[in-house]
């Protein structure tokens, strides 16, 4: 792919860092045209691993298998801890604003986790378990029933 800096580079020069538009002269002869050199001062970052596929909907059959797949999926999303965690306890001397932020952040993440779990239940089970207040309460109710 040719960039603007490639087109504007005089004959006999190599373009280094196409986005920066830096040209470096070559000593090879005048027959060499512009060359796009793909280089970077930063090492290439590793690509993040894609999250696991969402488990199929649980209909009341094979709970242990569904539970393992669900825990793996929640772990890849960074949400598994909410299935066994109580709301954070804040210190008495803590200022009101940070205390509020900690509790609200936990509530938001727990709400997402509960939604992920509920979205992996059949509609009939969703209606039964959607009244759970936290992910932990929902998870324990499912474990107790199945």
> Residue 94's pLDDT is what?
84
CA 39 to chain centre: 28
Residue 131 has φ and ψ, to the nearest 5°, of -80, -5
Q: By C-alpha distance, which of 17, 20, 21 is closest to 7?
A: 21
Residue of 88 and 14 predicted with greater confidence? 88
Would you say the pTM of this structure is higher than 0.85? no
Mean pLDDT calculated for residue range 126-144: 97
In Å, how far are 8, 26, 123, 126 from 2, measured between CA atoms? Answer: 10, 19, 53, 54
> Residue 91's pLDDT is what?
81
Half-sphere exposure of 107 (CA within 13 A, CB side): 7
pLDDT tens per residue, range 15-68: 444 444 444 444 444 555 555 555 445 555 445 556 678 999 999 999 999 999
- Beta-bridged to residue 15, according to DSSP, are 23, 36
pLDDT tens per residue, range 93-122: 889 899 999 999 999 999 999 999 999 999
- Beta-bridged to residue 76, according to DSSP, are none
Q: Are 79 and 112 in contact (CB under 8 A)?
A: yes
Q: Are 52 and 79 in contact (CB under 8 A)?
A: no
């Amino acid at each position: 792919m040719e960039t603007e800096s490639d087109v504007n580079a005089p004959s006999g020069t190599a373009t280094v860092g196409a986005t920066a538009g830096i040209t470096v002269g070559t000593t090879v002869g005048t027959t060499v045209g512009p060359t796009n050199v793909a280089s970077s001062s930063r090492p290439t970052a590793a690509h993040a691993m894609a999250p696991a596929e969402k488990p199929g909907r649980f209909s009341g059959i094979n709970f242990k298998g569904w539970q393992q797949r669900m825990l793996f999926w929640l772990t890849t999303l960074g949400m598994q801890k909410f299935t066994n965690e109580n709301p954070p306890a804040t210190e008495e001397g803590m200022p009101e604003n940070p205390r509020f932020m900690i509790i609200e952040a936990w509530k938001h993440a727990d709400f997402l986790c509960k939604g992920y779990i509920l979205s992996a239940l059949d509609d009939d089970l969703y209606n039964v378990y959607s009244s759970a207040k936290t992910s932990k309460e929902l998870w324990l109710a499912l474990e107790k029933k199945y």
